[in-house]
Amino acid sequence: MARFHRRKLPDHSTLLAGPVPRDEIGFQSDRLQIWYNHTNKAWADVRPHAHQESDECFIVLQGSIVVEVEGERFTIGPREFCCFPRGLYHQVIEVHPPVETLMLRAPAGNDKIYP
């Protein structure tokens, strides 16, 4: 039987939901993947990618991220979100810390493809 799962958000980045949680904070789900990013370090995707089977959504709680979609750049700030339907190539170009974001992908899985 499915069990209710409740935790406080941690002070570090981790997988909150997905096929293989990294620690006791996350819960196992084959349908939903949620990455919690809470960091003072800048990062970026190495290159553009798309997802073959899943839709992806970034929710920015604090800080900002810059994404590139089809050659156009967009800054996503606090209390904003952006969505990438499956098959749409996108890339996180810049992350402006301190940053706190949620990345949701459904269905869960490792389905990245590169141009």
The average pLDDT across 107-112 equals 92
14 touches 71 (CB < 8 A) = no
Predicted TM-score (pTM) of the model is 0.92
Domains of the chain listed by start with CATH number: 14-110 (2.60.120.10)
Q: What is the spatial distance between Cα 11 and Cα 107, in angstroms, rounded to a whole number?
A: 26
Q: At 3, is the pLDDT very low, low, confident or very high (cuts 50, 70, 90)? A: confident
Closest by CA to 95, choosing from 55, 47, 45, is 45
pLDDT digits 0-9 by tens, 25-42? 999 999 999 999 999 999
Q: Which residues contact 24 (CB under 8 A, 6 or more apart)?
A: none
pLDDT digits 0-9 by tens, 47-65? 999 999 999 999 999 999 9
Which DSSP category does 107 fall into? S
74 touches 94 (CB < 8 A) = no
Q: Which residues contact 101 (CB under 8 A, 6 or more apart)?
A: 36, 37, 58, 59, 60, 61, 63, 65
Percent of the chain with pLDDT over 70: 99
